[in-house]
Amino acid sequence: MEASLEGSRRWAEDERVVLIAGPTASGKSALALSLARKLDGVIINADSMQLYEDLRLVSARPSTEEETEVPHRLYGVLPASTAFSTGDWLRLAPGEIEAVRAAGKTAILVGGTGLYFKGLTEGFAEMPAIPDKVRRDARQLADVGGVEGIKARLLDLGDRDAASGLNDPQRLTRALEVIMATGKPLSAWQREAQSAPLLPEAKCQRYVLAPPRPWLHQRIEQRARMMLSQEGCEEVRALRAKGLSTRLPAMRAIGVAEIGAYLDGKFDYQEAVHRLTVATRQYAKRQETWFRNQMPDWQRIDPSNGISTDDLEKLT
C-alpha cells in the first residue's frame, strides 16, 4: 500500500477532501458535479464498475460532456479483462488525490463502493499477491462448482470462516484464491495486515446520500430503461463478443447478464426492464445496509427534493 496522505505534503488549514457515497441511482454524480463547479474541484471515481472503459452507459459513468466540463479521474481506465481489487484502487487513489492537491484544487471522491471509502478513512487489510495460475484455478472451480463447490473446497483447506460466513461468489472466490496461494485463511490476513488510514480524518468531509426508498425506486426503473436503450445494448453486445470469463468483475456488473439475456431473446423488453429494476433495487438495498452499518457517522443527505445553492453552501 502507498504511504498515507497523513504524512504527505503539509495540509493547508482550509484544505479538505470531499467524500460522497450512496446507493446506485441516488444522484451522487450530479452532486459531485455541482460541488466541483463551486469548489474548482476534480472528481475522482470511487465506484468499482465505473473504472471499466467498456460500460459507460450501463455503469452510469459521467458523460463525455461532463468529463470535459470538470476534470474526472479514474473513470473508464481499465479494460473489462482486468480483475481489479480494492487494494489496487487504494494504491491509485492517493496519487490522484495528491495531484489534485498539488494543483491547488479540491478532490471530490464519489461512488458506491463502500470498501474504497472505508480503506481511505479507516485503513485496509492488504492482501498478498495471487499468482495467475492460482487465480485461474480458483475461477475454474467457481465456474464449475458454483457457490457450494467453493465452500466445500474452502472447508477442505481449513477456511471455515469464509465457508460459513460468505455467500457472494466473488468474495468466496477471493477467499479461495488467498488460502490456495498462502495456506492462510482470508480472515487471518484481515486481522494481521490492517494498514493505517490513507486520509487524515480532520480533512475529510464525508457524506452519504440517503433518499426515500420510493423516490430511489422510481429512479432505478428509469435507469433500467436507459440501460436497455440502443447504446446500452450495444455496450453489452460488444463486451460479450470479447469472450471473457463471467467471473470477471466487469462481466458481473448489473445489466450485463440481464441485457445479454434480452439480446438472446430469452424475454421481451418489459420483462427485461422488470429484471433490471429488481436486480438494481436489491443491489441498492445491500449498499444502503452497508453504509448504515459501516459508515454510521457520515452525514446523511436526502437528495429527493433537489439540492439547492443554499444546500451547497452548507456542504462547503
User: How many domains does the chain contain in total?
Assistant: 2
Cell representation of residue 41: 474541484
The DSSP secondary-structure symbol of 79 reads: -
Q: What is the pLDDT of residues 107-161, one digit of tens each?
A: 999 999 999 999 999 887 777 778 889 988 988 888 888 889 999 999 999 999 9
Q: What is the pLDDT of residues 76-85, one digit of tens each?
A: 999 999 988 8
Cβ neighbours, 10 Å, residue 128: 13
Q: What 3-state DSSP class applies to 19? A: strand
User: What would the mean pLDDT of 19-30 be, rounded to a whole number?
Assistant: 96
The DSSP secondary-structure symbol of 11 reads: P
The last residue of a domain, from among 192, 214, 241: 192
CA distance linking residue 247 with residue 47, whole number of Å: 18
The pLDDT of residue 128: 76
CA distance linking residue 314 with residue 302, whole number of Å: 14
Q: What is the pLDDT of residues 53-75, one digit of tens each?
A: 999 999 999 999 999 999 999 99
> Which pLDDT band, with edges at 50, 70 and 90, does 305 fall under?
confident
228 in the same domain as 185: no
Q: Is the pLDDT of residue 310 over 80?
A: no
The last residue of a domain, from among 143, 175, 192: 192
294 in the same domain as 205: yes
154 in the same domain as 84: no
Contact 142, 176 (CB under 8 A): yes
The pLDDT of residue 5: 61
CA distance linking residue 256 with residue 120, whole number of Å: 29
Q: To 10 degrees, the CA torsion angle through 28, 29, 35, 37? A: -170
Q: Name the phi and psi angles at 107, rounded to 5.
A: -85, 130
Q: What is the pLDDT of residues 194-218, one digit of tens each?
A: 677 889 989 999 999 999 999 999 9
Q: Is the pLDDT of residue 288 over 50?
A: yes
Q: Which domain holds residue 186?
A: 132-192
157 in the same domain as 187: yes
Cell representation of residue 42: 476534480
User: What would the mean pLDDT of 233-237 be, rounded to a whole number?
Assistant: 97
> Which pLDDT band, with edges at 50, 70 and 90, does 313 fall under?
confident
217 in the same domain as 108: yes
180 in the same domain as 111: no
**Close Cβ partners of 223 (under 8 Å, ≥ 6 residues apart):** 24, 25, 60, 280
Contact 70, 33 (CB under 8 A): yes
89 in the same domain as 102: yes
Cell representation of residue 54: 467498456
179 in the same domain as 116: no
The pLDDT of residue 193: 59
Q: Left (φ > 0), alpha (ψ -120 to 50) or beta: where does 123 sit? A: left
228 in the same domain as 261: yes
268 in the same domain as 178: no
> Which pLDDT band, with edges at 50, 70 and 90, does 3 fall under?
very low
Q: To 10 degrees, the CA torsion angle through 215, 221, 227, 230? A: -120
| Residue scoring higher pLDDT (164 or 21) | 21
Percentage of the chain beyond pLDDT 70 is: 96
What H or E segment, with its residue span, contains residue 208?
strand 204-209
Q: Any idea what the CATH number is for the domain that residue 42 is in?
A: 3.40.50.300
Work out whether the CA dihedral 135, 60, 62, 54 comes out positive or negative: positive
